[in-house]
Chains A and B, each alone.
Chain A
Amino acid sequence: MQSIGKSPPKASWWSRRQLDIVPWIFLAPAIVVFAIYVIAPIFQSMSLSLYDWDGLGQPSYIGLDNYRELYDDADFYVALKNNVIWLFGFLLAVPIGLAIALFLNQNVFGIRAAKSMFFFPFVISQVVIGLVFSWFYDPTNGLLFHTLHFFGINDTVAVLSSEDWVTYGIVIAGLYPQIAYCMILYLTGLNNVRADLIEAARLEGAKGWTMLWRIVLPQLRPATFIALVVTVIGSLRSFDMISIMTSGGPYGSSRVLAYYMYEKALSEYGYRMGYGTAIATILFFVMLVYIVFILRRIYQQEKDM
């Protein structure tokens, strides 16, 4: 980055200092609200995690006790394990999105409409998607039950009330809009793949998987990077679907850290703000790994420009 030329020197103080002060005037409103609502709360949460607080009375300082309690909390490990399932399950959105994008990357009549219809699930609220999928899994009348029945499988499971299946069931619902998102990223990427490179490779006899792997995917790297970023972040943010479909049940078996934190902090059995923020702090540090990774990449791009 380089600065735009300085204005010619004039006498007055304002014109001399203008270029030092003006940027902060432009930035002030954004920085102020962002600092109050986003930056400060991160540190407030971290410090609150060292307290025992019911949200009403006086918080009492208890050092690392919340973290010690977490260390022995079986529910915490269930949530953590579910986060891992979410992460890996969600990553399937990337190759599936790519597959659909490749399938749709043609020029036939009506394909543009088809592309935007395929993208549709992303536009709709996760609340609605969660509702439909909970009907889909309904053990007496759900479509899943009917379909399995049709194929002669009769001992079906009630997915959302089974401790073993519930998280997978919700992840699949969460994948639905996420696949649409990855697909649109890849469709845009494919639009910009260089035709001359493809043709040259084709002349040399490359096709199918070799072409995809050697020629196309390298050119899709920006799309892949963004797809991975939004998918990983999305998986760690999973909350809506769990709240809608199971409220963390049965017996807390579908909770993830984000949901567990919410439940602890604002539970109907009494607020435990300190314990909740301790969970949030751990989730934050997990996410921080990705944030640093993303910022590093942006930094490198900035340097190259």
Chain B
Amino acid sequence: MTNRNAFHLRKAHIALALVLMLVVAACGAPGGSEASSDEGPITVGVIVPTTGVVAAAGTDMLNGWNLYWELNGNEVAGRTIETIHEDNAGEPTNTLTKARKLVEQDGASVIVGTLLANTALALAEYVDPLDDVIGLNPAGSADDLSQRGIVDNYVRAGGWQSSSPTHVAGNWAYDQGYRRIITLCQDYAFGHENCGGFINTFTDRGGEVVQQLWAPLGTPDYSSYLSDIDPQSADAAFVLTVGADSGRFVKQWSDFGLKDELPLIGGETTLDQSLLRAMGDEAIGLESFGHYAEGREDAATQEFVDAYLEAYDLLPSYYAASTYTAAQWFVETLETEDGDMSDIPAFLETLKAYQVENSPFGPMELDEYGGTIATMYLREVAQDDEGRLYNAVVEEFPGISQFWNYDPEAFLAQPVYTREYLGEDWPESCDQFVSDCPLEG
């Protein structure tokens, strides 16, 4: 009995000790944050997927980033730029893990990345509350990052919006005399935004969507979708595929004989250079819309293409150009600020005001919402002397805003493009346009 009492007494002691420790813990706040300085090296964390489903494109991003520093050196305005790469395998949770590691463990004050829209959104959510970290977003094209979910310190440096090229494409398709269209898009946010952009502008003009097909990301076989397409029922097809799906789609599009029967309007990622490398004759002659074309004849693009070719023995994709441009964007800002990153709000202001006169993409700048205003290209797959496939420029559409010709406020009052909202019946009146209203009456 006494033993038992003694035991309970000990229990009480331990409990008391625990409570005391909790009180002590509550009294003082642990940790302290380091102030960002205006001298010494700047650590830049690069989060891109170099494993997983989008590893090829992610590797291009890393190569493009590294190429810039190899060509220009990593000394900027008296400060050394140190790059640490982390692989997120294309997953949102990994992205957050890596971002925390880079900021908290490695002391990175700049985070560059990432590729897939959902990982970019996760990263945006992480950098948002940090007032001493800047995020550069060269490839995460989710529309809402510069529309309905703007994050002040996550900047589209060398970036784009999913629906920017396809707004142009929809309008262009009508100009070609196409009135009936079939769309086949990848069934996730990026595909919805691409298709939405196309359908919105195409239907404004009076075009009609006769068939909508949605293929999940990672569709192993497109035959069930393609056998569903009757070439007689439409004038053209708009198709947006991503990653390895693109290779399978383009091959089967040709195998099914549709290549000769139905004009194809591709989205940017259907015929991106990172995928053309693995394609053959079936891709030659196919047209697509994008904010990048490795065949652009301007010196800014061709110098980059030559340097990339020499360094990696490959033609650069838009992914490679995106991080290369982001590096250029960051360096020019840092030089304007004389290497001073201590005042982050001021630095952000300079970063956003920076106008790229010329880059592998052409001229680029940000609008007041942080959306990229850039040149869009109609591209055609061609073959160079050494048998490499590349996107040659057919037509340029300069100064394309993320809002197309729509009034920004009216545009933002609509939801982001989803399967449920693709803009068929919007806008209703010319009040919702700032220029070139195509609506009748």
A and B interact: no
